[in-house]
């Protein structure tokens, strides 16, 4: 096959291309692109192929082609474009145009080397809150479903209202280009062109939370307050889970969501999946998610029911079960990804013994830490200590060589 050329093109069509690129396109025999890109070449003499849906079949066809082929892509094909995928599957030469992000920052008059980039184009907005929290400049690629108004409403729901302003750049480089800076509240009911990019710019510092959020900051069940993994135990648990930025995490029996929330802040480019059987705790969890700007999947249910919906995890935390320990651990052990960890917090020696027995049966190595934490408490002008309930932290990993 001949080497395929992948050429980036702007919204202003031929005006965005170097003469050399136009010559290559005119001399080619197959021109591939979206309907909008192909419409810039109404007099093209070769074969046009519209780029729709999956790329796999198209790539397979192009691998067998001997004719000169050009693929058109929007802006920079290697920036959230098809260039990266195509380059992994076949030999190509890539010729980028200015990306929409580059143009948008130029219109805003802001540098962009220190910006955070993400995309909700063709994907869910879930997890966006913890990804962007605290970032100074954020560029978001959008689509018709996840448009600026929907993004603004989402951000307001997670209490970003006063901290960010939104710059919306539409039809960049085209005749209908429009760029404007808004408050988040202004955007919620507006309609924009489907071709747009959003830049969020921080205008005010918000509350940032470090590891070990104080217990009293969480909404908890009343009057029987205290159904929460205490801060000291939570910190030890998170350390034992060994989370990475892109980890997939399960939290079984999430209750107020304290562990899941802190896990989502650490694994902010990953995913967190939680399950809780008590409706009151579930509502507290959702309130806490909004307060601490974490957006993860939380199910109302009693494990092991519901776990089959979750993708294989890198880390599992089990803070409490209402029976069914063996079945829960078996599912977790079977679905755990390579080098993953399971951490169980047990209050009773019976649960400790059952967990250890199960892990041995499933060929997992275990390490147990007994945590006895006491907190200082003032008494008149003196200080004494109040002990928290002892907790057994069981950390389990698959034995070397097991799969």
Tell me the C-alpha distance between 164 and 152, whole Å. Answer: 10
DSSP one-letter string for 38-75: HTT-TT--SEEEE--S-SHHHHHHHHT--S-EEEEEES
Poorest-pLDDT segment among 18-22, 209-213, 223-227: 223-227
Residue 114 lies in a domain: yes
Does one domain contain both 191 and 219? no
pLDDT tens digits, one per residue of 94-120: 999 999 999 999 999 999 999 999 999
pLDDT at residue 59 in the model:
87
CB of 199 within 8 A of CB of 166? yes
Does one domain contain both 12 and 149? no
- Percent of the chain residues topping a pLDDT of 90: 82
| Domain stops at, among 180, 202, 224 | 202
Does one domain contain both 110 and 71? no
Q: For residues 399 and 342, which has the higher predicted lDDT (pLDDT)?
A: 342
Quote the domain boundaries for residue 255. Answer: 215-398
Tokens found for residue 126: 């879930």
> What share of residues in the chain are helix, strand, coil (percent, to 5)?
30, 25, 45
Say how many domains are in the chain: 3
- pTM for this predicted structure: 0.88
| Domain stops at, among 168, 202, 236 | 202
pLDDT at residue 58 in the model:
83
Residue 207 lies in a domain: no
What's the CATH code of the domain at 348? 3.40.50.150
Output DSSP code: residue 216.
G
Does one domain contain both 16 and 111? no
Mean pLDDT of the chain: 93
pLDDT at 15 over 80: yes
What's the CATH code of the domain at 185? 3.30.950.10
Q: Can you tell me the mean pLDDT for 178-199?
A: 96
pLDDT tens digits, one per residue of 217-269: 999 987 555 578 999 999 999 999 999 999 999 999 999 999 999 999 999 99
The values of phi and psi at residue 347, to 5°, are: -95, -35
pLDDT at residue 324 in the model:
84
Residue 246 lies in a domain: yes
| Domain stops at, among 202, 224, 243 | 202
Q: Can you tell me the mean pLDDT for 118-128?
A: 94
Model confidence at 65, pLDDT cuts 50, 70, 90, reads: confident
pLDDT tens digits, one per residue of 293-348: 999 999 999 999 999 999 999 999 998 766 789 999 999 999 999 999 999 999 99
Does one domain contain both 308 and 163? no
Q: Can you tell me the mean pLDDT for 173-201?
A: 95
pLDDT at residue 52 in the model:
79
Q: Can you tell me the mean pLDDT for 363-368?
A: 96
CB-based contacts of 241, cutoff 8 Å, min separation 6: 247, 249, 263, 315, 317, 341, 343
């Amino acid at each position: 096959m001949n080497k395929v050329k992948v050429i980036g093109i702007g919204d202003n069509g031929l005006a965005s291309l170097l003469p050399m690129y136009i010559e290559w396109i005119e001399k080619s025999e197959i021109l591939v692109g979206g309907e909008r890109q192909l419409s810039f070449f109404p007099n093209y003499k070769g074969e046009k192929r519209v780029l729709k849906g999956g790329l796999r079949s198209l790539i397979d066809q192009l691998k067998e082609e001997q004719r000169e082929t050009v693929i058109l892509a929007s802006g920079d094909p290697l920036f959230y474009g098809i260039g990266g995928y195509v380059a992994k599957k076949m030999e190509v030469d890539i010729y980028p145009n200015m990306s929409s992000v580059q143009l948008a920052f130029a219109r805003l008059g802001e540098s962009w080397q220190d910006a955070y980039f993400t995309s909700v184009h063709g994907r869910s907005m879930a997890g966006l809150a913890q990804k962007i929290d605290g970032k100074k400049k954020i560029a978001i690629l959008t689509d018709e479903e996840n448009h600026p108004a929907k993004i603004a409403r989402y951000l307001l729901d997670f209490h970003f209202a006063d901290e960010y302003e939104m710059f919306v750049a539409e039809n960049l480089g085209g005749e209908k280009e429009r760029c404007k800076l808004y408050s988040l509240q202004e955007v919620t009911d507006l309609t924009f062109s489907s071709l747009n990019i959003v830049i969020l710019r921080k205008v005010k510092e918000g509350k940032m939370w470090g590891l070990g959020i104080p217990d009293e900051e969480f909404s908890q069940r009343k009057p029987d307050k205290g159904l929460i993994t205490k801060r000291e135990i939570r910190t030890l648990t998170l350390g034992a889970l060994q989370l990475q930025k892109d980890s997939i995490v399960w939290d079984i029996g999430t209750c107020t969501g304290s562990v899941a929330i802190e896990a989502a802040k650490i694994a902010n480019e990953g995913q967190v999946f939680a399950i809780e059987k008590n409706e009151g705790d579930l509502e507290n969890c959702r309130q806490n998610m909004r307060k601490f700007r974490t957006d993860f999947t939380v199910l109302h249910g009693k494990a092991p029911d519901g776990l089959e919906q979750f993708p294989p995890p890198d880390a599992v935390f089990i803070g409490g079960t209402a029976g069914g320990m063996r079945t829960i651990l078996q599912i977790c052990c079977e679905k755990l990804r390579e080098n993953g960890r399971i951490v169980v917090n047990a209050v009773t020696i019976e649960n400790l013994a059952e967990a250890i027995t199960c892990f041995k049966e499933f060929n997992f190595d275990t390490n147990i830490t007994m945590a006895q934490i006491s907190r200082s408490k003032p008494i008149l002008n003196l200080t004494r200590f109040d002990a928290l309930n002892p907790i057994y932290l069981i950390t389990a990993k698959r034995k070397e060589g097991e799969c």
